Amino acid sequence: MKQLALPVRLRAEAVFDSFAPGPNGELIAALRGADPAPLWLWGAPGSGKTHLLQGACAAAGTAAAAYFPMGTPHLPPEALQGFASLGVLCIDDMEAVAGDLRWERALFELFNEALELRSRLVFAASAPPTALPWTLEDWRSRATACIVYQLRELDDEGRIEALRLRALQRGLQLPAETADYLLRRMPRDLASLLGLLDDLDEASLAAQRRLTIPFIRDALARNAGTRP
């Protein structure tokens, strides 16, 4: 079966080593392990589900893995055909197709084929499989047979560690007082913090300055058009 090309590129920063585990150590260990049993991750937006799915693909190698975001517009159920033979198949945003009979049939067939070939399936959604409004009972039984992990939110110490790891990946040294300043002054969800750090890194490169608190304060003031 010919595979359809997907307009999805893995993010370079989405690897296991750049993810601060916090209370999710057991989940990370399961993803790193070799057990082919299907996994289901669920958690709030910005909790890191996509990062971990793409990290699983990166760890397996791009030739042996594929990442599917189900929220992609105009992606047909036929896109899943031919991918069960890969070593790792990660399927994101499962809530986007809950209740769609065509998608559920395609997922059911994929699940059975992957099980037979001992390929690994990793799903992610905003809720556990038992809480989603499936239409096809055969698929519901497969989804609920997955090993389920809730991706838990990081505390402040974990957020600072996540910022440190992202900075390290970008070749930056992030002083503890700078990370603490960002955490106290900026939105506390991790996606916003990491996105802000990336923007500040670009600004510091352009200005040839280090990520100090005075530089961050000035950069944020220029961006907002007023000094905080």
What is the pLDDT, as a whole number, of residue 222? 77
What is the pLDDT, as a whole number, of residue 153? 87
- Say yes or no: 76 and 120 in one domain: yes
Query: Which residues, in sequence order, are CB contacts of 79 under 8 Å at separation 6+?
Result: 4, 6, 68
Number of domains in the chain: 2
The residue ranges of DSSP E strands in 9-102, in sequence order, are 39-42, 65-69, 88-92
What is the pLDDT, as a whole number, of residue 18? 87
- Domain of 189, CATH number, reads 1.10.8
Bridge-partner residues for 122, per DSSP? 39, 90
pTM of the entire structure? 0.80
- Say yes or no: 181 and 103 in one domain: no
- Cα separation, 201 vs 214, whole angstroms: 14
H or E stretch covering 125: strand 120-125
Q: Which amino acid appears at position 132 of this protein? A: L
What is the pLDDT, as a whole number, of residue 3? 45
- Say yes or no: 199 and 146 in one domain: no
- Cα separation, 228 vs 220, whole angstroms: 8
228 residues of the chain, pLDDT tens digit each: 344 445 456 777 788 988 999 999 999 999 999 899 999 999 998 889 999 999 999 999 877 899 999 988 888 999 898 899 899 999 999 999 999 999 999 999 999 999 999 999 999 999 999 999 999 999 999 999 999 999 998 888 888 888 888 888 888 778 888 888 888 877 777 778 888 888 888 888 888 888 888 888 888 777 665 444
- Say yes or no: 144 and 161 in one domain: no
What is the pLDDT, as a whole number, of residue 166? 84
- Say yes or no: 132 and 185 in one domain: no
Residue 5 placed within a domain: no
Expressed as residue numbers, the domain containing 116 is 16-150
Residue 90 placed within a domain: yes
- Say yes or no: 130 and 93 in one domain: yes
Residue 67 — φ and ψ, nearest 5°?
-120, 125
* DSSP conformation class of 120: E
H or E stretch covering 149: strand 147-150
- Cα separation, 107 vs 109, whole angstroms: 5
Residue 76 placed within a domain: yes
- Cα separation, 181 vs 193, whole angstroms: 11
Q: Which of 150, 168, 187 is the last residue of a domain?
A: 150
